[in-house]
């Protein structure tokens, strides 16, 4: 059994401006470094010093700001590809339940990915790193949308207590991984004590990407 921690990268200007950011990158937001001291404390508490990361700039910046040693850059850890919706305003998307986007970005995004495709490549990356590292805990830096989608895919609907907004910059989401199963464990937030799970009441899963 391995505990896999998925880390959401720091905030960018696209986040500030309400733009859709998956495969696209942007400059860091002026407030990007604000949660870093808390993140460092959480990582120290969990004894996480190295990371496998997405090759996207915001993942690299996050690892550098948190003083993490990069073990490898893995393409399958990249954020969701939203096709032509990349860098567009959030309001252009229909308001759907979070797990109902399905093939929306592939069908209407002209080259985007389905939710299933995003989940499958994250699974592939996680199992590959688990096999290579042979460690009891691993830290991976992916993207906000990919991680949230992964959470939805690996958490029973009745047990979901996190909303899209909870996958904030520098939040950490732990999953228990065996040879054939992935289960959501808990989350850590830079606004809370590192050992504290943020239990969010179930609410309507309508989100803005």
For 91-105, the pLDDT digits (tens) are 888 777 767 889 999
Domain tally, the chain: 1
For 163-209, the pLDDT digits (tens) are 888 999 999 999 999 998 999 999 999 874 444 434 333 333 334 44
Q: Domain holding 155: CATH number?
A: 3.40.50.1240
For 58-92, the pLDDT digits (tens) are 999 999 999 999 999 999 999 999 999 999 998 88
Tokens of 112: 């985007």
pTM across the whole model:
0.90
Give the three-state DSSP class for 42.
helix
Provide the 10 A C-beta neighbour count for residue 118: 28
Residue 21 and residue 79 in contact, taking contact as beta carbons nearer than 8 Å: yes
Cα separation, 200 vs 205, whole angstroms? 12
For 141, the domain range is 2-205
């Amino acid at each position: 059994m391995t505990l896999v921690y998925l880390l959401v990268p720091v905030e960018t200007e696209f986040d500030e401006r309400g733009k859709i950011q998956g495969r696209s990158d942007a400059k860091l937001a002026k407030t990007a470094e604000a949660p870093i001291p808390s993140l460092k404390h959480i990582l120290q508490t969990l004894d996480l010093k190295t990371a496998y990361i997405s090759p996207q700039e915001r993942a690299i910046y996050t690892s550098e700001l948190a003083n993490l040693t990069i073990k490898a850059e893995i393409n399958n850890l990249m954020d969701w590809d939203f096709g032509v919706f990349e860098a567009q305003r959030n309001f252009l998307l229909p308001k759907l339940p979070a797990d109902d986007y399905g093939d929306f970005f592939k069908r209407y995004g002209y080259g985007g990915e389905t939710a299933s495709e995003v989940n499958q490549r994250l699974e592939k990356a996680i199992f590959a790193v688990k096999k290579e590292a042979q460690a009891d805990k691993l830290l991976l830096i992916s993207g906000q949308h990919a991680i949230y989608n992964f959470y939805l895919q690996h958490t029973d609907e009745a047990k979901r207590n996190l909303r899209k907004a909870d996958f904030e910059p520098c939040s950490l989401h732990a999953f228990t991984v065996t040879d054939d199963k992935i289960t959501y464990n808990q989350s850590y937030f830079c606004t809370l004590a590192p050992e504290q799970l943020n239990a969010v009441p179930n609410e309507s899963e309508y989100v803005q990407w």
